[in-house]
Structure 1
Amino acid sequence: MHVPSNKLRTKPGKEKQTYLEVTEQDELMKFLLVQLPNKSRNDIKSLLAHRQISVDNEVITQFNHPLLNGQQVVVNWAKVLIEEQPAGLNIVFEDPYIIIIEKQAGLLSIATATEKEQTAYSILSDHVKKRDPKNKIFVLHRLDRETSGVMMFAKSEMIQQALQKAWKEAILERTYIVVVEGAVTKEQGTITSWLTESKAFIMYSSHTPNNGQKAITHYRVLKKNKHYSLLEVKLETGRKNQIRVHMKDIGHSVIGDKKYGATKHPIGRLGLHAQVLAFKHPTTGEVVRYESEIPKVFLNLFI
């Protein structure tokens, strides 16, 4: 537990700032809630979103940014003029090489041969071109239309190729929060099968080795009641519709997923959220980890 620092200083004048010294390892949100007791969690989220928090002179927008002993956190109370967030997604991390976003459910990741509507890719592409018409973004992976959560794009073809070539080594963690039908009795488990796609774009699961692409999914139960279970799911492989097919395999389809056997549609969307993306940065080699919050509509099913 932090004790608010007696070294807190506020500079007078228009650009009012508060300086906070970190005395032990912590996460930024937890640190600020203690150091700024008159500010709510939403107040601090707003400060982060408006780029008003910096750590050692670097603007930070991640609520779970790790802090180290000896670092200095600065709160800039004067609102910084920032570009508007693009509609349908939220930019949560950006540097000269990559952009990480949180995609809303209902938004396609990229256009397909049959669907040319607005996508996460097109929205983000338009957004970066407003800064400079020469700016481009490059696709690294996809999320299903009805899946929300964390996605990453490259800002150059070179970075895209570097990450895609070393994807298995570079991606350290991909964790999803999933709501499935029924009470899952086994508290944790691993599902392994081989997936193939039909002409109707439906993925089929086989337990015959090498009959398709090998897919491995690990899960553990976080919460459950007689109607639903909330699972933390970690992907060892990233096959198309992998989680959805594997949940059907264990007899607990993802809620709202009629394509793969669901009969319940309680929240008007698929019960799938990409919560954690951790990877080795393609240029610095540092570990970057972004964790988003579990959607409230998921948690409300377990109240």
Structure 2
Amino acid sequence: MRKETKGSRRQAAASPSRKPAPARRLQVTEPGELLEFLLVKLAPQGRNSIKSMLAHGQIAVDDRIEKQYNHPLRPGQTVTVSKTRSSASAPLVGLRILHEDDAVIVVHKDAGLLSIATAQETELTAYRQLTAHVRQADPKARIFVLHRLDRETSGVMMFAKSEQIQKKMQDNWKDVVTERKYVALVEGLVKKASGTISSWLKETSTLKMYSSPVANDGQHAITHYKVLRASRNYSLVELELETGRKNQIRVHMQDIGHPIASDKKYGAKTKPFSRLGLHARVLAFEHPTTGKPMRFETDIPKPFLSQFKEEAR
């Protein structure tokens, strides 16, 4: 028989009556950002502790869970600090939120995840997961597509949180988006260190894009490239889009005789990995409501770099 100690009796007696600590409600009296506000109000709690609380859904602004540390606050708002972690957040699969505010969501999409479903594809997508994410706070919330990445392309992409923001950004895309860079692992040694590829893109009945030999026949596409690393078998190329046409980079790399690794559809003969050798590395834009310049840069995928390590041995 288990011996009952004085301490265990005390613990047993306390457990049934234990109630969760009440949430703290803090009034905002001047403009600022959420993390800085919490650092002052919750002192001496540290920055990492408060970021953890944000990540676990313990902070709400006007009763809406807010996880972004730089969320802007206005006088008159109420910030609620809960002692219990939210269990409502479903984990995102193949997707990581880089930034979220009232106007846009910027994410990193893994290779293999669809951006948005087509009529034939109804599986898990970035769009579907982010819709579920915003509806945790507001069941009527929606997100709107601004641009897409191919299923096997990884990297930075962005969605709007209202139809008005979507229209405003898409109507002025060339002015709003100030930088859009990709990196690609392409087949062969690209001898010219940098260059520009310009062509007129058309689509076949089988939905494959190609460069028309006739000027002004199709959509004009311009890609600037710069070689970052090169070896006998592969080159790592940085690409900047002046236009954003469907499969533009894939067609243009094939056009110069250096198709993207693993891209059999557009002429690749090698498959060093199961994904496409294309990554959307940089996205910079002017914020649609604040006008503030925003820039997001991600790492070059390790499988791209590992091709050069192997050849160096």
State the TM-score, normalized to the length of structure 2: 0.73
Partner of 2:171: 165
1:1-303 counterparts in 2 under 5 A?
16-17=45-46, 50=55, 59=69, 83=89, 85-303=91-309
Query: Following the alignment from structure 1 to structure 2, what is the Cα–Cα distance between the partners of residues 80 and 143?
Result: 34
Question: What secondary structure is seen at the aligned counterpart in 2 of 1:231?
Answer: strand
Partner of 1:38: none
Query: Following the alignment from structure 1 to structure 2, what is the Cα–Cα distance between the partners of residues 79 and 197?
Result: 54
Question: What secondary structure is seen at the aligned counterpart in 1 of 2:122?
Answer: coil
Query: Following the alignment from structure 1 to structure 2, what is the Cα–Cα distance between the partners of residues 60 and 157?
Result: 24
Q: Which amino acid aligns with 1:240?
A: K
Question: What secondary structure is seen at the aligned counterpart in 1 of 2:156?
Answer: strand
Q: Which amino acid aligns with 2:104?
A: I
Tell me: CA distance 1:165–1:14, structure 2 relative to 1, closer, same or farther (3 Å): closer
Query: Following the alignment from structure 2 to structure 1, what is the Cα–Cα distance between the partners of residues 138 and 287?
Result: 24
Partner of 2:32: none
Q: Could you list the runs of 4 or more consecutive aligned residues of structure 1 that deviate by over 4 angstroms after TM superposition?
A: 78-85
Deviation at 1:85, TM superposition (A): 4.4
Partner of 2:64: none
Query: Following the alignment from structure 2 to structure 1, what is the Cα–Cα distance between the partners of residues 102 and 70?
Result: 15
Percent sequence identity is 55
Query: Following the alignment from structure 2 to structure 1, what is the Cα–Cα distance between the partners of residues 213 and 306?
Result: 35
Query: Following the alignment from structure 1 to structure 2, what is the Cα–Cα distance between the partners of residues 136 and 193?
Result: 37
5+ residue gaps, structure 2, are 1-38, 57-67, 72-82
Deviation at 1:131, TM superposition (A): 2.0
Deviation at 1:168, TM superposition (A): 1.1
Query: Following the alignment from structure 1 to structure 2, what is the Cα–Cα distance between the partners of residues 80 and 101?
Result: 23
Q: Which amino acid aligns with 1:17?
A: G
Partner of 1:28: none
Superposed CA offset, 1:191-241 (max 9, x none)? 000000011000010242111100000000001111100000000000000
Query: Following the alignment from structure 2 to structure 1, what is the Cα–Cα distance between the partners of residues 116 and 46?
Result: 41
Superposed CA offset, 1:256-285 (max 9, x none)? 100000011101110000000111111111
State the TM-score, normalized to the length of structure 1: 0.75
Answer with 1 or 2: which has the greater Rg.
2
Q: Which amino acid aligns with 1:59?
A: Y
Q: Which amino acid aligns with 2:135?
A: K
RMSD, aligned CA: 2.8
Query: Following the alignment from structure 1 to structure 2, what is the Cα–Cα distance between the partners of residues 251 and 79?
Result: 58
Deviation at 1:245, TM superposition (A): 0.2
Question: What secondary structure is seen at the aligned counterpart in 2 of 1:230?
Answer: strand
Query: Following the alignment from structure 1 to structure 2, what is the Cα–Cα distance between the partners of residues 220 and 142?
Result: 23
Q: Does the 8 A contact of 1:50 with 1:80 survive in 2?
A: no
Q: Which amino acid aligns with 2:45?
A: K
Tell me: CA distance 1:80–1:219, structure 2 relative to 1, closer, same or farther (3 Å): farther
Query: Following the alignment from structure 1 to structure 2, what is the Cα–Cα distance between the partners of residues 135 and 128?
Result: 6
Q: Does the 8 A contact of 1:150 with 1:275 survive in 2?
A: yes
Query: Following the alignment from structure 2 to structure 1, what is the Cα–Cα distance between the partners of residues 264 and 217?
Result: 25
Deviation at 1:126, TM superposition (A): 1.3
Q: Which amino acid aligns with 1:266?
A: P
Tell me: CA distance 1:295–1:60, structure 2 relative to 1, closer, same or farther (3 Å): farther
Deviation at 1:135, TM superposition (A): 1.1
5+ residue gaps, structure 1, are 1-9, 19-42, 52-57, 62-77
Tell me: CA distance 1:150–1:79, structure 2 relative to 1, closer, same or farther (3 Å): farther
Tell me: CA distance 1:280–1:224, structure 2 relative to 1, closer, same or farther (3 Å): same
Q: Which amino acid aligns with 2:114?
A: L
Query: Following the alignment from structure 1 to structure 2, what is the Cα–Cα distance between the partners of residues 272 and 192?
Result: 19
Question: What secondary structure is seen at the aligned counterpart in 1 of 2:135?
Answer: helix
Partner of 1:70: none
